[in-house]
Structure 1
Amino acid sequence: MTHRYGQPAPMPDSIRQYMRGGQNPARAIACPRCGVAAHRPCRIPSRGVPLAQIHQQRIDAHTQTVACCPTCQVEPTIPCHANGRALDNGAVHPARHTEATREAA
């Protein structure tokens, strides 16, 4: 099989994400739920069927890497916590989701 296109164009990741059109910015990282690579659609792990939506764990992981949390006052890459304990399954506070969408815009 021959390939029509070579390597992707050299450009910064921020511009590349913009050029990807309507994709959710959370697709820029690998999914911790189903294990797919970055920029690939989430899949059902048992059957390998691609999903139309993104797993919530992937959205939470992306939010954790790009935004500070106004609720628990943590910096990016640090998990949200409540009463000194990290939230279950890597969840983040709703205010952190709002902050991540504000930064993406």
Structure 2
Amino acid sequence: MSIGALDATSAYGRALGVGGAGGIGGAKSPLAPSNGTQGGGDFGSMVEGLVTDTAQSLRAAENASAMQVAGKGDLIDVVTAIGAAETALDTMVAVRDRVVSAYTDIMRMQI
């Protein structure tokens, strides 16, 4: 049985009473926006911020690489952007692995 990261975060949201029964559709997502207007520092907003930051750093690395190929960018900028994107992606994957591991541990607990 394979458990995806989305399944783990959906289960976490349902445990907190944040998400709906299906977790998808009109129900509120456990990954609430982290735009600074909310008072909480919950796990869902931390994960969403991590995913957003990772996506932005990957886009920045892709843009720097494209500019280098076009002859308009600096190689050092490309290497720096790719290094930052790699670090962000490694961090996101490590958090995902820990969430999935915790979820499987919880699912194995006897009631």
Tell me the TM-score normalised to structure 2 length: 0.23
Greater RCO (CA < 8 Å, at least 6 residues apart) = 2
**Which structure shows the bigger proportion of residues in helix conformation?**
2
Tell me the TM-score normalised to structure 1 length: 0.24
- Larger Cα Rg: Structure 1 or Structure 2? 2
